[in-house]
Structure 1
Amino acid sequence: MKSRCVLFLLLLIQQVRTDLQYDNCIYWTSSKGFSLPEFSERRVLNDVTVFYYDSSLRSKTPCPDWINTTAGREEWSSIHFWTDHNRHTVTLAFKSASQQFNLTGSLSDQNIYQASGCCSLYPDGTYKAFLTSAFNGKDFTSFDINTKTFVAAVPQAVLYKNLRERDSTTIEELSAFYKKPCLERLNILKQAPGILIRKVPEVRIFQQQKADSITVTCHVTGFYPRVVQVVWLGPDLQPVDEGVTDVLPNEDGTYQTRKSVIVPEEDVGEHTYSCVVLHSSVPDNITRVWGGEKAGGMAVWISLVCISLLAAGIGLVVWWCCRTRAKAYKYIYKRPEGSAPS
């Protein structure tokens, strides 16, 4: 049984490790009525924006100084070229969706179309890519890179799917991009300032006593890049129920998150629980163990320590007073006759 649990833990950690990756993502938006530009494109590598353009700008982001190779500058020119194409297709999708959902006239006051395309490189060398879109916050289409077809998430997206697939040349280029050039561009963009700075997370465990249980929280902070996995392991190395909190930014550019487990009071002290943190800044993992100490027992222990320290303090004060008084008596009784106390 234990060997199975150990194997499960190893497989779990291995699975989590593959989630620590480099992400090269592109985000497009076309909207109306949200005080946003009509069109925007943002290219992001692991939460760091390396390129931005929107319809309110007169020019696109110039090639940065950290791209100092011929191949890199050619890729940057390609980004500029495709931005114009993307603006056309995203605007087309927005208009098509608005019409198919009958959101015209007064109903067209507030609508938004969002699309994202990402390619991810994992530490074990595997590579994944996807392209999806949404209209007013709901799935609209996705692109199957292998079959070179668009998949309509809703009937209203079929028209746009057909429009895109009619342009076979662009479809071929789109599929080819996510299979190889996206990865090559990712390797070039890794040179961006701040991308390769990794910070090791700080991990601590704290508990909160409730009526019939204890909530144990694993707080992880100060790490970069953003991608992290926090896993609670309970008795026999089985994962236990956990509360999940989103990864949040710190003021210094690092991130923090926390996960909690609720431990029934009758189980406190009977088992140990481990918080396993996996992050690209450390080769293996960071593990903190909570031994299941009852909050009440801790309070009693703290009280005993405080009482002991108080007693010791009182004893020290009494000893000092007695010693001082003894010295005073000795001085009074031994001083020369006729002399006055100073």
Structure 2
Amino acid sequence: MTVDDVPVFYYDSNMTRALPVPEWLNSTTAQQYWEFFTFRVEINKLKTVKGLKSATQQFNVTGASKNIYQVQERCDLYPDGTVRAFLIHAFNGKDFLSFDIESKTYIAAVPQAVHYKRLRERDHPDLDFLVHFYHTKCVKVIKEFLQHAPSIRMKKVPEVRLFEKHSSTFTEITCHVTGFYPRTVQVQWFGSDMQPVMEVDSENKVLPNGDGTYQTTKSVVIPAEHTEIHHYSCVVQHSSIPGNITKAWV
């Protein structure tokens, strides 16, 4: 388990005992979370084994020398308090199953995942637990670990630059945000009326830099007839700054 890319918890199936609580985790609440994760990894191991067995049977690859089943769960806490969470399963490097937190249902990425989807959806207490965990507990864990883990407190302020690309019919403006840490960042374009404008790609793709920081871009396309009458601003929110960074294009 990592918080802002810093490993804070590790487990593998060859371990015979739980990891000791680290010295920096010196609050009662944080230690309770540590014990919770120590217990939860055992439960997750059983679920992962079931997923692996189901996938190998449904794909009819039980005789293969090696099959790999992966589960990634993640929750992001943004500077404005917004929370996003993900639970994704993969089999042999390809999407297999994902969990929709709002509808409490699993989504099969391939027909072979339907059997395991139905199996997981019959476990109603587990569905309720997952929703509670991603809506509430996951964020509390992040805040508690951020407060106590010394290596997680490092923050680097993003650098923001605007770039233009012109054609006869439009101008594309790109907001390039780089050098920030931790990874979670919000970047959005606003018009002269301070209303959000349609972006070229609404997905927030964050990429790593070679020095351990991150970068991302957001672009808007402005019709040629609007370039003289509209102003646009790129607004960046990050945990390293108390407010935001605003770069205006006029």
TM-score surpassing 0.5? yes
Instruction: Please say if residues 79 and 237 of structure 2, whose CA atoms lie closer than 8 Å, have aligned partners that are also in contact.
Output: no
Which of 182, 206, 216 aligns to 1:257? It is 216
Query: Following TM superposition, by how much is the alpha carbon of 1:204 offset from its aligned partner in structure 2, in angstroms?
Result: 2.0
Output the amino acid matched with 2:157.
V
Which of 68, 77, 91 aligns to 2:35? It is 77
The DSSP-based 3-state class of the residue aligned with 2:35 is helix
Which residue number in structure 2 is paired with residue 151 of structure 1? 106
Which residue number in structure 2 is paired with residue 114 of structure 1? 70
Query: Which structure: larger Rg?
Result: 1
Which residue number in structure 2 is paired with residue 187 of structure 1? 143
TM-score norm. by structure 2 comes to: 0.72
Instruction: Please say if residues 24 and 149 of structure 2, whose CA atoms lie closer than 8 Å, have aligned partners that are also in contact.
Output: yes
Which residue number in structure 2 is paired with residue 247 of structure 1? 206
Output the amino acid matched with 1:114.
Q
Output the amino acid matched with 1:89.
K
Which residue number in structure 2 is paired with residue 273 of structure 1? 232
Identity of aligned residues (%): 47
Instruction: Please say if residues 234 and 240 of structure 1, whose CA atoms lie closer than 8 Å, have aligned partners that are also in contact.
Output: no
The DSSP-based 3-state class of the residue aligned with 1:53 is coil
CA distance in 1, matches of 2:199, 2:83: 31
CA distance in 2, matches of 1:248, 1:162: 35
1:95 matched to 2:53? The reply is yes
The DSSP-based 3-state class of the residue aligned with 1:51 is coil
Output the amino acid matched with 1:274.
S
1:203 matched to 2:160? The reply is yes
Q: What is the aligned-residue RMSD (CA, Å)?
A: 3.9
Output the amino acid matched with 1:277.
V
Higher helix fraction (1 or 2): 1
Q: Deviations over 1:267-302 (max 9, x none)?
A: 5444333222222333433222222xxxxxxxxxxx
Gaps of at least 5 residues in structure 2 are none
Which of 49, 53, 75 aligns to 2:11? It is 53
Query: Following TM superposition, by how much is the alpha carbon of 1:94 offset from its aligned partner in structure 2, in angstroms?
Result: 0.8
CA distance in 2, matches of 1:240, 1:144: 26
TM-score norm. by structure 1 comes to: 0.56
Query: Following TM superposition, by how much is the alpha carbon of 1:51 offset from its aligned partner in structure 2, in angstroms?
Result: 1.5
The DSSP-based 3-state class of the residue aligned with 2:155 is coil
Q: Which moved more, 1:257-266 or 1:280-289?
A: 257-266
Could you say if the C-alpha distance between residues 92 and 269 of structure 1 is closer, same or farther in structure 2, counting changes exceeding 3 Å? Answer: same
Output the amino acid matched with 2:53.
K
CA distance in 2, matches of 1:193, 1:200: 18
Q: Deviations over 1:52-102 (max 9, x none)?
A: 233467776543221123443343233233323322220121111110232
